Amino acid sequence: MSSLKQEVEDDLFVRAPLEEKVLEDFAEEPVTFWNEAWRRLKKNRGSLLGLITIIFLSLMALFGPVISNHSFDDQDLALSNLPPKIEGLGWLGFDGRDVNGKDQYEAREVTSNFWFGTDEFGRDLWTRVWKATQISLFIAIVAAVLDLIIGVVYGGISGFFGGRVDGFLQRIIEVLIGIPNLIVIILFILILEPGITSIILAMVITGWVGMARVVRGQILQLKGQEYVLAARTLGTSNVKIIWKHLLPNVMGAIIITLMFTIPTAIFFEAFLSFIGLGLQPPLASLGVLIEDGYKSMRFFSFKLLFPAIVISAVMISFNLLGDGLRDALDPKMRK
């Protein structure tokens, strides 16, 4: 019996020859979805530039106020409205001279330099700009994370269970969408005292709706797939199916939506601060600095220039990164 078995193995089960190219493909390490997405993202120069810019601005927001010797709330009226001055960069126009060519630092006997100038209260704009960037990013990221949590849970439950549960939850979303988002935010801030907490809560009230609708649509599309039906047949609970099978496959859409939520939150925060419903002194966000610079734009344009450049760079970078992630995480782009 053993000899017959050996004879069958030798005669019938013969290895098929493989080409060298095929063998090389088998020898390579398997590429995961996230590794391939990262490779595609790196090929997108705009998205890579946006990612680098976000990292740079985040580091400056953390360490920029520490670089200066001045605090963001230090006031000295003797130093009010000083123009920017950077030693050795006078050829760029940052030499501390006004429109008449007079050196304001020498005229006022000011020994220290202010790289972004000072405001009407003599506060260092370099420190205030980066402190404002820190606060704006903090508000936007916290609001986006809360939108993420509420939207994923709400949309996941609505899309997975469907039926009456989905119908009831979607009616609530339709009511929230029917009310203008800006009006809800303004009314909420008017009820509470303006501050970081009230601004975050005001943006979260309706901000999660977009995330919930995206997650619901993806769950509705995926819950009928074969691997979900197999998991149900094996007796897997609904919670495990949602968290282990459905949400990992929706993660790409969630990350993309999150990247577009952050600049939207920054815009709303800046708008609220611009109309006077934002942070109160001495705290400042980019919207507050832009509103202050707008008032004196005719005579002291530098007070508006620097916060406008920073907020524009932040919003453009997040949008570029979001576009790149949308292409990188799209399964249809996978070759």
Strand partners, 103: 97
Is 71 within the bounds of a domain?
Answer: yes
List the CATH number of the domain containing 211: 1.10.3720.10
Is 241 within the bounds of a domain?
Answer: yes
pTM: 0.80
Residues near 321 by Cβ (< 8 Å), separated by ≥ 6?
Answer: 47, 50, 51, 54, 259
Give the structural domain span for 133: 36-81+118-333
Is 86 within the bounds of a domain?
Answer: no
Burial of 13 (0-12, 13-18, 19+ CB in 10 A): exposed
DSSP symbol at 80: T
Summarize pLDDT for 196-243 with one digit per residue, the tens: 888 888 888 888 888 899 899 888 888 878 888 888 888 878 788 887
- What pLDDT does 57 receive? 92
User: CB–CB of 314/137 below 8 Å?
Assistant: yes
Q: Which of 118, 116, 129, 112 is nearest to 64 (CA)?
A: 129
Phi/psi of residue 298, nearest 5 degrees: -65, -40
- What pLDDT does 335 receive? 47
Is 26 within the bounds of a domain?
Answer: no
pLDDT of 171 over the 80 cut: yes
Max Cα distance, the chain (Å): 109
Is 283 within the bounds of a domain?
Answer: yes
Is 9 within the bounds of a domain?
Answer: no
Is 5 within the bounds of a domain?
Answer: no
Is 12 within the bounds of a domain?
Answer: no
Burial of 113 (0-12, 13-18, 19+ CB in 10 A): middle
Neighbours of 211 (CB within 10 A): 24
pLDDT of 81 over the 50 cut: yes
Number of domains in the chain: 1
| Amino acid code (one letter) for 152 | V
